[in-house]
Structure 1
Amino acid sequence: MSECDVPVGASSEPVRPRRVLRADVRTARRRLSGRVRKTPVFHTSVEGPDGPVPVSLKMEFLQHGGTFKVRGALNALLGADGDADHIVVASAGNGGIAVALAAAQLGKACTVVVPESAPHTKVAAMWAHGAEVLWHGTNYAEAERRAVTLAAERKAGHLHAYDMPALVAGAGIIGLELEEQVRGRPPVLAAVGGGELIAGLGAALGKRRRIVGIEAEHTPVLSAALAAGGPVEVDAPAPAGELLCPTRIGDIAYDIAQRHRMPALPVADEAITAAREYLWREFRVVVELEGAAALAAVQSGAYKPEPGVRPIVVLCGANTELPML
């Protein structure tokens, strides 16, 4: 049975996910050769609470589909044991966009089940890549349950939006690129979300570089999991606007974060919004709110690098409403 057919993390019962290793990431990189962009790194300084802070910006928002998630989606579909010609996924945003794009590239049909709160911009992007979009439930968990049922009804393949080994391994390619692009072993700051990105970086880099997870303060999914000893649902208020994050960290991400003692830093929504506006004002760079979360940690002082250290900041997504800037 393919890992595409088995939803990981859909149950609240404790699970022991298959570990994602650096070898898995290297395999994913070979598999995706010529299919994804090696996104550039921009060395600069940004405003911090006490003056300019040197940083290296990983421009992952330039990836196909405007999201790092396309790496994992392509890796999952290309590495699947089966050959399903129809893929179903539940997603509030970039996961659905990535799977829709990957499915279109491989000639497969795609259905995305989205919660009622899904941002219109991201739904429109799913449509643009040819996906069928169905609304169900008020949150990701409800949409995911419907996606599992729908996949069975249609005899289609099923992908989880962020908690599958192939997705994590695909995201980890970013870590391999950073080893080639940035000298030394500076820390890497990345948005937590459901955990796919930080897990991939952890799998790729291990203890070679410190990975710091940055999460919106209203959805501290990694902090809550580390405190509870396992993934737990976070009772988060529905945010106004597009900053819609998963309310439970993925099992794979928790396993990697716990083994590597990965810290989690909360950042206020206002700081994330300010960081996004700063990127546009200073660099004419457009990112979505979650894409600016890691930079917000530096600019707000939630993360303060040691003297002489230039942290890497991953700008991970660009799917946003332009009029909001």
Structure 2
Amino acid sequence: MAVSYDDVLAAADRIRGRVLRTPVVEVGEGLFLKLETLQHSGSFKVRGAFNRMLSAAVPDAGVIAASGGNHGLAVAYAARALGLRAEIFVPEVSSPVKVAGLRALGADVTQTGAIYSEAAEAAAKRAAETGALEVHAYDHPDVVAGQGTLGLELMEQTGGVDTILIAVGGGGFVAGVTVGSGASQGAPVVVAVEPERCPTLHQALKEGRPVPVAVSGVAADALGASRLGDVAYGIVERAGVRSLLVSDDAIEAARRTLWAEYRIAAEHAGATAYAALLSGAYERAPGERVVVVLCGSNTDPATLG
């Protein structure tokens, strides 16, 4: 289930014109923000969703997915664009903003289970009953390759960087960007950033394999996968990706700062990578070129002040 650079290039061709080439802004000398907050459906997830659907024969039953919210929004958006039926299972922890968004996109929504993994079990059972195409949130090569298209973009847009800071949940995004940016071949360096209360990759690297992890906290609706994907683990382990942990307080502060200084509306997951810089969990070396990926914006604007 490996994903190659050629797979990412093929995904870029497949989804071209269906996703946005989101901007990169330089906010300090050699410090860039990749604004995937501006992507269709409010996050990077639409890249993998389109690539998965366009790479498979979708049955009349349509597509089905489990999600903390962002993946479901992406699947619902892509399904509507392609004229497909979408059924989305979300856990009780999912943001009301995201659940409302799913319904607005025309998806059939079932809210079940306390956490993502329980919603995923329900979705898998339903897919087996209906024959719908399951679009996994992170643990599928086509999804990973689709997410990797962001890595291609940001390297072109920045002219190359030394380091990429990126938030991690189930690992599909960090794995795709590792391949798409060329980091799986040694450069740039990818640094994963996780909430202390969702240390899924951190524990997998510590144990030498994906393991179940208890998840909670402010970013759990988007980064709350309780087990790292197998596809992702193989990629990040070989590439030497390391994980940094940040507190919920640091994530909250990063989110407020992005709004106050740049008027960027980020959800908690979207601000997690920036929290590593702001809190000092990651310290830039002199002259180091760093890009921080802001991965999602599906949040209640009233909470940004």
TM-score of the pair, normalised by structure 2 = 0.95
Match of 1:7 in 2: none
Could you list the per-position Cα deviations for residues 230-249 of structure 1 after superposition, in whole angstroms to 9, with x for gaps in the alignment? Answer: 10111234559856521211
Match of 1:23 in 2: 6
The answer to whether the aligner puts 1:44 opposite 2:23 as a matched pair is no
Match of 2:201 in 1: 222
The answer to whether the aligner puts 1:171 opposite 2:171 as a matched pair is no
CA distance in 2, matches of 1:37, 1:136: 32
In structure 2, which of residues 108, 119, 122 is the aligned counterpart of residue 143 of structure 1? 119
- SS at the partner of 2:78? helix
- SS at the partner of 1:145? helix
Could you list the per-position Cα deviations for residues 44-99 of structure 1 after superposition, in whole angstroms to 9, with x for gaps in the alignment? Answer: 13xxxxxxx85100011111011100000000001114444411111111011100
1:93-242 alignment runs, 5 A limit: 93-204=69-180, 205=182, 206=184, 207-237=186-216, 239=218
CA distance in 2, matches of 1:158, 1:184: 35
The answer to whether the aligner puts 1:67 opposite 2:50 as a matched pair is no
In structure 2, which of residues 217, 221, 235 is the aligned counterpart of residue 256 of structure 1? 235
Match of 2:53 in 1: 77
- SS at the partner of 1:232? coil
Aligned residues: 301
CA distance in 1, matches of 2:22, 2:219: 31
CA distance in 1, matches of 2:244, 2:283: 11
- SS at the partner of 1:44? strand
Amino acid aligned to 1:97: L
CA distance in 1, matches of 2:133, 2:170: 21
CA distance in 1, matches of 2:33, 2:52: 27
Could you list the per-position Cα deviations for residues 104-151 of structure 1 after superposition, in whole angstroms to 9, with x for gaps in the alignment? Answer: 110001011111221111111111111010122111111111111111
Judging by fraction of residues, say which structure has more helix: 2
Residue 121 of structure 1 contacts residue 319 of structure 1 at CA under 8 Å; is this kept in 2? yes
The answer to whether the aligner puts 1:269 opposite 2:248 as a matched pair is yes
CA distance in 2, matches of 1:244, 1:81: 29
Match of 1:323 in 2: 302
C-alpha spacing 1:237/1:174, structure 2 compared with 1 (3 Å): closer
Amino acid aligned to 1:42: V
In structure 2, which of residues 271, 283, 287 is the aligned counterpart of residue 304 of structure 1? 283
State the identity as a percent: 45
Match of 1:92 in 2: 68
Give the unaligned 5+ runs of structure 2: none
RMSD in angstroms over aligned alpha carbons? Answer: 1.6
Amino acid aligned to 1:19: A
Give the unaligned 5+ runs of structure 1: 1-17, 46-52
C-alpha spacing 1:162/1:226, structure 2 compared with 1 (3 Å): same
1:275-314 alignment runs, 5 A limit: 275-314=254-293
CA distance in 2, matches of 1:34, 1:219: 34
Residue 192 of structure 1 contacts residue 215 of structure 1 at CA under 8 Å; is this kept in 2? yes
C-alpha spacing 1:82/1:122, structure 2 compared with 1 (3 Å): closer
Amino acid aligned to 2:291: I
Residue 238 of structure 1 contacts residue 244 of structure 1 at CA under 8 Å; is this kept in 2? no
Residue 167 of structure 2 contacts residue 174 of structure 2 at CA under 8 Å; is this kept in 1? yes
TM-aligned CA deviation for residue 208 of structure 1: 2.4
TM-score of the pair, normalised by structure 1 = 0.89
Residue 242 of structure 1 contacts residue 289 of structure 1 at CA under 8 Å; is this kept in 2? no
